[in-house]
Amino acid sequence: MKSSKLIVFDCDSTLSSIEGVDELAALRDTDIKRQIEDLTNQAMNGEVPIAEVFGKRLELIQPSQEMVDKIGQMYIDTIVPGVVETITTLKEAGWNIAIVSGGFTPVILPLAKHLGITEVQAVPLFFKPDGSYDGFDTSAPTTRNGGKPEVVKKLTTHYQADITIMVGDGISDLETKDTVHSFIGFGGVVARPQVKDSSEYYTEKFSEIINFLPKPA
Ligand SMILES: [Mg+2]
């Protein structure tokens, strides 16, 4: 059987140096931004379940189509150094590449397109005809803890991958550790001690990820 390999990236604070939800909040006002950052950090540090903060953050932010477009561009403007080159190298080496994120699909798609990544598993948003916020897809797995491992497992099956690698900065990424060949903690944007301590590999330099991958036989 032809072997297939899959590498999965988190998006926020991994491929891009922003947290999309925080920046969406900042477009509303600074007080909402502070509240959202607190909620996000609590979730990323594993202090509160993701599902608990998910709807709450969106109700506060009310992201419109226009806001989504702005932050979509910001993701591209704040790409982490080394990402473009590393993704190119991975493609040339035959890796399937996916983004799995608890962020919002319409905000992430421009960055994915920019990087030539077609597999994006995140949280769809809905808009009213006038472009105002109309809710999110509550069935999206990454709106809750345990969502990322579920998605990574599905992708592994879909790509018939015998090697799957996960790269990310957060606790929700670390949750995939038992479902992947190896978990690479990335601390180049936010260094989380809990992730660093539990990662099989850990780096603060994105291009170093290549050194942690299994070498072709
Ligand atoms: Mg992240």
pLDDT tens digits, residue range 190-214? 999 999 999 999 999 999 999 999 9
Q: Which of 10, 22, 169, 173 is catalytic?
A: 10
Report d(CA 36, CA 87) in Å as an integer: 30
User: How far, in Å, is the centroid of ligand 1 from the Cα of 217?
Assistant: 32
Asked whether 29 and 92 are in contact (CB, 8 A), the reply is: no
For tokens 């797995």, the residue is 141
Report d(CA 162, CA 2) in Å as an integer: 10
Q: Is residue 49 very low, low, confident or very high in pLDDT (cuts 50, 70, 90)?
A: confident
**pTM of the shown model:** 0.93
Residue 105 has pLDDT above 70, yes or no: yes
Q: Where are the beta strands (DSSP E) in 52-144?
A: 96-104, 119-123, 125-127, 133-136
User: How far, in Å, is the centroid of ligand 1 from the Cα of 13?
Assistant: 5
The structure tokens listed for 115 are: 């990087």
Q: How many CB atoms lie within 10 A of CB 34?
A: 13
User: How far, in Å, is the centroid of ligand 1 from the Cα of 10?
Assistant: 5
Pinpoint the alpha helices (H) of 93-146: 105-115
How many angstroms from the chain centroid is the CA of residue 128? 26
User: How far, in Å, is the centroid of ligand 1 from the Cα of 7?
Assistant: 15
User: How far, in Å, is the centroid of ligand 1 from the Cα of 156?
Assistant: 20
204 CB-side CA count, 13 A: 7
Domains, in order of start, for the chain:
5-212 (3.40.50.1000)
User: How far, in Å, is the centroid of ligand 1 from the Cα of 2?
Assistant: 32
- Does the annotation mark 169 as catalytic? no
pLDDT by residue (tens digit) across 55-82?
889 999 999 999 999 999 999 999 999 9
β-bridge partners, 104 = 123
Asked whether 119 and 6 are in contact (CB, 8 A), the reply is: no
pLDDT by residue (tens digit) across 161-173?
999 999 999 988 9
* CA angle, 85 then 100 then 140, to 5°: 160
How many angstroms from the chain centroid is the CA of residue 129? 28
Q: What was the pLDDT predicted at 37?
A: 85
Q: Is residue 18 very low, low, confident or very high in pLDDT (cuts 50, 70, 90)?
A: very high
Q: What was the pLDDT predicted at 112?
A: 98
User: How far, in Å, is the centroid of ligand 1 from the Cα of 100?
Assistant: 10
Report d(CA 165, CA 213) in Å as an integer: 8
Ligand 1 (ion): which residues have CB within 5 A? 10, 12-13, 169-170
β-bridge partners, 121 = 100
Q: Which of 12, 22, 169, 173 is catalytic?
A: 12
Q: Is residue 42 very low, low, confident or very high in pLDDT (cuts 50, 70, 90)?
A: confident
User: How far, in Å, is the centroid of ligand 1 from the Cα of 110?
Assistant: 17
Residue 45 has pLDDT above 90, yes or no: no
